[in-house]
């Protein structure tokens, strides 16, 4: 389908740099959204994920939202989509990946960039209880998860349409960028590693020998952490094997649902090309690539009254999908 942004993206004055966009958005997005109810969803392997959800009008669309690395249903970008859905009379469900709802999950394994089984189970669950169309949104890590889900399910995807913002389609290249030199790369890296290591320590106390604790503590890069923890917990031979298996970029041709791929060329966590060029060959994909915007940023307007252009375009994309559906 054809989709054009409602307005071009113009960075807010004073937020022209990639790091300003990224950091300002992460700190200032409003976190007040619609009233949510917490649901515990039991998984086939004996674990669980927590959902935060609300109902829409009968027959209205329902949006499932997947957060990024170490995010949750409380992340500002998640709340923005839920708020937009509520304002339209739609329903919404935010999936908290395993260990991200504020309560440790039951098993040694957790979540990772290529694990889409939990999201698929949740979408099927939501699909079975709604009467309107199901849409899905993924941010950053959650965007890669959503793409992998769409690639593997093809024409059988439970979601009628999807949108992905700032996804790391090439996990190896993304890791290379995050682990690179510079004070901002260090800031992003340390922010992720702080909570990842906290969870890993708690996990090791409950499951001694699940991975090498000394290697985990010594990890100063995302790749080293994935080598020490993510890979062994999820059946990979190491970080490189994990990145190769979990990256969505090589299989974007398999997506069979209208899907918006939104990224910025100056994303500080990705390496150019931030969206694989092959994506333009799939007629089901709409590529929206801006020169500026940072990582899950896209802040326009003014500093004292920012507007989050990317969140608005995701919702506008779903509006256009809905408008194109037969009445």
What confidence category does residue 325 fall into, taking pLDDT thresholds of 50, 70 and 90? confident
User: Is the pLDDT score of 281 beyond 90?
Assistant: yes
User: Is the pLDDT score of 40 beyond 90?
Assistant: yes
- Residue range 287-291: mean pLDDT, rounded: 98
Q: What is the mean pLDDT of the chain?
A: 97
Token pair recorded at residue 313: 């375009």
- Residue range 282-299: mean pLDDT, rounded: 98
What is 33-50 written as a DSSP string?
A: -S--EEEEEE-TTS-EEE
**pLDDT of the residue at 289:** 98
Domain boundaries, the chain: 18-170+253-322, 172-246
**pLDDT of the residue at 1:** 66
**pLDDT of the residue at 146:** 98
User: Catalytic residue numbers?
Assistant: 140, 267, 295
CATH class of 18-170+253-322: alpha beta
Percentage with pLDDT > 90 across the chain = 98
Task: Say how far apart CA 134 and CA 64 lie, in whole Å.
Answer: 8
Task: Say how far apart CA 69 and CA 269 lie, in whole Å.
Answer: 12
**Predicted confidence (pLDDT) per residue in 68-112, tens digit:** 999 999 999 999 999 999 999 999 999 999 999 999 999 999 999
Percentage with pLDDT > 70 across the chain = 99
**Predicted confidence (pLDDT) per residue in 144-175, tens digit:** 999 999 999 999 999 999 999 999 999 999 99
Task: Say how far apart CA 124 and CA 121 lie, in whole Å.
Answer: 5
User: Is the pLDDT score of 2 beyond 90?
Assistant: no
* Sequence-distant contacts of 216-225: CB under 8 A, at least 24 apart: 219/193, 220/193, 221/175, 221/178, 221/179, 221/189, 222/175, 222/178, 222/179, 222/189, 222/192, 222/193, 223/175, 223/179, 225/193, 225/196, 225/197, 225/200
CA nearest neighbour of 65 among 160, 136, 146: 136
For residue 12, give the DSSP letter: P
Q: What is the dihedral of CA 84, 127, 73, 190, to 10 degrees?
A: -110
């Amino acid at each position: 389908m054809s989709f054009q942004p409602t307005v071009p993206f113009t960075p807010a004055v004073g937020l022209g740099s990639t790091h300003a966009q990224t950091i300002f958005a992460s700190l200032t997005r409003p976190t007040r959204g619609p009233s949510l109810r917490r649901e515990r969803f039991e998984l086939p392997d004996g674990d669980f994920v927590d959902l935060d959800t609300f109902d829409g009008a009968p027959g209205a669309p329902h949006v499932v939202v997947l957060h990024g690395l170490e995010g949750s249903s409380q992340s500002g970008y998640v709340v923005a989509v839920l708020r937009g859905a509520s304002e339209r009379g739609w329903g919404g469900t935010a999936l908290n990946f395993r260990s991200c709802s504020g309560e440790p999950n039951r098993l040694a394994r957790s979540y990772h960039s290529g694990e889409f089984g939990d999201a698929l189970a949740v979408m099927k669950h939501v699909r079975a209880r709604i009467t309107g169309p199901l849409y899905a949104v993924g941010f950053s890590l959650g965007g890669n998860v959503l793409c992998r889900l769409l690639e593997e399910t093809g024409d059988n995807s439970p979601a009628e349409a999807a949108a992905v913002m700032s996804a790391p389609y090439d996990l190896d290249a993304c890791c290379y960028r995050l682990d690179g030199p510079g004070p901002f790369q260090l800031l992003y890296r340390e922010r992720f590693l702080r909570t990842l290591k906290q969870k890993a320590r708690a996990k090791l106390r409950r499951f001694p020998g699940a991975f090498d604790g000394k290697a985990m503590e010594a990890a100063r890069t995302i790749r080293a952490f994935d080598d020490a923890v993510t890979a062994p917990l999820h059946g990979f031979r190491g970080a490189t094997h994990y990145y190769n298996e979990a990256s969505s970029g090589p299989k974007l041709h398999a997506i069979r649902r209208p899907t918006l791929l939104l990224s910025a060329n100056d994303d500080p966590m990705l390496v150019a090309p931030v969206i694989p060029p092959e994506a333009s060959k799939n007629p089901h994909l709409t590529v929206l690539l801006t020169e500026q915007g940072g990582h899950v940023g896209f802040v326009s307007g003014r500093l004292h009254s920012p507007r989050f252009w990317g969140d608005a375009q995701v919702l506008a994309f779903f509006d256009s999908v809905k408008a194109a559906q037969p009445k």
